[in-house]
A and B are shown apart, each in its own frame.
Chain A
Amino acid sequence: MRRAAPWVAAIAAALLVPFAGPGSFVLHVLILVLMWTTLGAAWNVLGGLAGQVSFGHAALVGVGAYTTMILYLKLGIAPWWGMLAGGAAAALVSLPIGLLCFRLRGPYFSLATLAVAEIVRLVALNFESLTNGPVGFLITALPPLHLGGWAVNWESKTPFYVAAVLLAAAALVSTDWVKGSRLGAYLVAIREDEDAAEAVGIDTVRVKVITLAHSAFLAGLGGGFYAFYFRYVDPDAVCNIGLSMEMVFIAMVGGLGTVGGPLVGATFLTAVAEVVRGQLGLGHLVFYGLSMMLVIRFMPEGIWGRVHRLLTRPRGAAADVALGG
């Protein structure tokens, strides 16, 4: 692990926040930011690092959320285990999707992911014996949990906050780890030129399938957390194109392929959503669309990417797109 110390410090600091006694609204907003960070980072692993634009990631979030719900409501397995199972299920589902869709490249791949997501949504909507159809699932009470003799209070936001911190940390740390690894270098090669990558001996399909599984695991975890925190899941909430687009948005605005980008993008997204919806009473999606266009036009490396570049490298020096360093 590179740079382990800053990560440990950041996570520890984040975990100390509840001790400062923030109100439950502040904690709620932080939880949302961290959940979106996880989801944005999930998309970013595939879309940012490997340059494979998926418009269907909501399907993987949906698989995670539904797995968590079904395991709890039908089999009595607690949602914190369900979240992990949700991640695993999404990763598993992603394998055939990847083997299928990665036969296509560029925009063709993007279109295929869109179709797969629509199929998943239709299944969620119509396979009523498994998914409850359009009605979805509602958790009325979470199971009791005792940690070291302490009974966890599910009415407090704190346990959810802790879970969200751990999730987001898993997403960002694993992104950082991949970026520094040989796998990360392969992803950059694939993003830059797939034929050339094959020609130098990179098994591009295998690398992409592995990366999609990684991405899907994080998306599934995020979906599981969604179910766990909001206690409610239906096809509209977790399987729609809008959710896929929000994941794209977070990664894009934050900075495609950067480690910290999703955190910045998620903060921006949550802030915009709260302020615009709450204060101005306007559709927050207008601002998502507008800021996506502005970022691509004027700052294609994203907010984090721009800041990172200004901090680490003097203007005009050689490009160093994330191999190793």
Chain B
Amino acid sequence: MSRLEVERLSVSFGGVRAVRDLSFSVAEGEILGLIGPNGAGKTTVFNLVTGFVRPASGAIRLDGRPLVGLKPHAVARHGLARTFQIVKPFPRLSVRENVTLAAFLRHPARRDAEAHADAVLERVGLAHRVTVAAGQLTLLDQKRLEVARALATGPRILLLDEPMGGLTPAEVGLASDLVAGIRDGGVTIVLVEHVMKAIMRISDRVLVMNQGEKIAEGPPSRVVEEPAVLAAYFGKRRVA
């Protein structure tokens, strides 16, 4: 059964169709990679699915429950969490406090929330930095924190917006392992990423967008050979 279903989703900003008639689904336990050139509409898809932007038309369902019209906090409560491309830590709060805030969603008592936060931080490899102010972390650690905070809300599906952007190759390796580990822990994942090597390695399936539309979908190895994808990435060469 598919965990997340998106059906004919469209939205425009000031006359520009940012996302056009987009449909896809994500199976339980899958890692779906969402790729495409800059401005293809990938982040907009995340904003639509998580309730930050309301679609002009189309449907979004999480385990069969409609999500369109819900505010982001309600979407999170339903079990769909996200990270932001440009990390948004609560900069003056400590790492533990950042994650505790997210843990409150499923653990109303402070003590439980803190315990849960510590467990999540352990899992993403931030256990040694819990008392540091989030604003003082390195970029890699801020990305980890972003993931930890999303995880602490107890999601069934996690939307990661460029978790590897700006990381060194060695760090990308660490981040890939982390993402794979989260999936193995039972969380379905949708991943927007520009680091092609990483996305090709860890995705079960990729969906390619260009100018708001889906232009290809399938296993990574097959999708990269599709002419439409090559055209979108490498040039204006018309493909018959």
Complex contact A321–B73 (CB within 8 A) = no
Q: Is A198 an interface residue (CB 8 A)?
A: yes
Residues facing B in A127-183 (CB within 8 A) are 182
Query: Quick one: closest B residue to A202, CB to CB?
Result: B73
The interface centre, meaning the residue of A185, A195, A197, A200 with most chain B CB atoms within 10 A of its CB, is A200
Specify which of A192, A193, A201 is in contact with B153 (CB 8 Å cutoff).
A201
Q: Is B224 an interface residue (CB 8 A)?
A: no
Complex contact B133–A318 (CB within 8 A) = yes
Query: Quick one: closest B residue to A191, CB to CB?
Result: B90
Complex contact A185–B104 (CB within 8 A) = yes
- Which chain B positions have C-beta within 8 A of A320? 93-94, 97
Give min CB distance, A179 to chain B, whole Å.
Answer: 13
Residues facing B in A230-263 (CB within 8 A) are none
- Which chain A positions have C-beta within 8 A of B71? 198, 203, 205
- Which chain A positions have C-beta within 8 A of B132? 318
Give min CB distance, B134 to chain A, whole Å.
Answer: 9
Residues facing A in B76-115 (CB within 8 A) are 76-77, 81-82, 84, 88-94, 97, 100-102, 104-105, 108, 110
- Which chain A positions have C-beta within 8 A of B194? none
Complex contact B73–A201 (CB within 8 A) = yes
Q: Is B149 an interface residue (CB 8 A)?
A: yes
Q: Known contacts A195-B88, A198-B73, A318-B131: does B94 contact A182 (CB below 8 Å)?
A: no
- Which chain A positions have C-beta within 8 A of B90? 188-189, 192-193, 196
Number of interface residues of A (CB under 8 A): 24
Q: Is B212 an interface residue (CB 8 A)?
A: no
A-B contact pairs, 20 of them (CB 8 A): A182-B104, A186-B104, A189-B90, A192-B92, A193-B91, A195-B72, A196-B90, A198-B73, A199-B84, A200-B149, A200-B153, A201-B73, A201-B77, A201-B102, A202-B73, A205-B71, A319-B135, A323-B100, A323-B101, A324-B110
Distance, CA A76 to CA B169, complexed state (A): 77
Complex contact A195–B108 (CB within 8 A) = no
Q: Is B187 an interface residue (CB 8 A)?
A: no
Complex contact B101–A200 (CB within 8 A) = yes
Give min CB distance, B50 to chain A, whole Å.
Answer: 7
Q: Known contacts A318-B132, A319-B133, A320-B94: does B150 contact A199 (CB below 8 Å)?
A: yes
Distance, CA A151 to CA B153, complexed state (A): 58
Task: Give 14 A-B pairs besides A199-B50, A319-B93 with Cβ atoms closer than 8 angstroms.
Answer: A185-B100, A188-B93, A195-B72, A196-B90, A199-B150, A200-B105, A201-B104, A201-B105, A318-B94, A319-B92, A320-B97, A321-B93, A323-B93, A323-B100
Q: Is B152 an interface residue (CB 8 A)?
A: yes
- Which chain A positions have C-beta within 8 A of B88? 193, 195-196, 199
- Which chain B positions have C-beta within 8 A of A193? 88-91
Specify which of A182, A202, A205 is in contact with B110 (CB 8 Å cutoff).
A182
Q: Is A110 an interface residue (CB 8 A)?
A: no
For the A-B complex, the count of residue pairs with Cβ-Cβ distances under 8 Å equals 90
Distance, CA A204 to CA B104, complexed state (A): 14
For the complex of A and B, the 6 pairs showing the least CB-CB separation, nearest first, are A201-B76, A192-B90, A201-B105, A200-B102, A198-B72, A319-B133
Distance, CA A198 to CA B51, complexed state (A): 10
- Which chain A positions have C-beta within 8 A of B89? 193, 196
Query: Quick one: closest B residue to A198, CB to CB?
Result: B72
Query: Quick one: closest B residue to A194, CB to CB?
Result: B88
Give min CB distance, A308 to chain B, whole Å.
Answer: 15
- Which chain A positions have C-beta within 8 A of B131? 318
Distance, CA A201 to CA B132, complexed state (A): 23
Distance, CA A182 to CA B152, complexed state (A): 16
- Which chain A positions have C-beta within 8 A of B133? 318-319
- Which chain B positions have C-beta within 8 A of A198? 52, 71-73, 76
Give min CB distance, A233 to chain B, whole Å.
Answer: 40
Give min CB distance, A21 to chain B, whole Å.
Answer: 46
Specify which of B84, B92, B94 is in contact with A196 (CB 8 Å cutoff).
B84
Query: Quick one: closest B residue to A189, CB to CB?
Result: B101
Complex contact B97–A323 (CB within 8 A) = yes
Query: Quick one: closest B residue to A203, CB to CB?
Result: B73
Distance, CA A319 to CA B137, complexed state (A): 12
Digitize A192-227: 1 where CB-to-B-CB distance is under 8 Å, 0 elsewhere. Answer: 110111111111110000000000000000000000
- Which chain B positions have C-beta within 8 A of A201? 73, 76-77, 102, 104-105, 153
Give min CB distance, A58 to chain B, whole Å.
Answer: 30
Complex contact B93–A200 (CB within 8 A) = no
Q: Known contacts A189-B90, A318-B133: does B72 contact A199 (CB below 8 Å)?
A: yes
Q: Known contacts A182-B104, A185-B104, A318-B133: does B97 contact A199 (CB below 8 Å)?
A: no
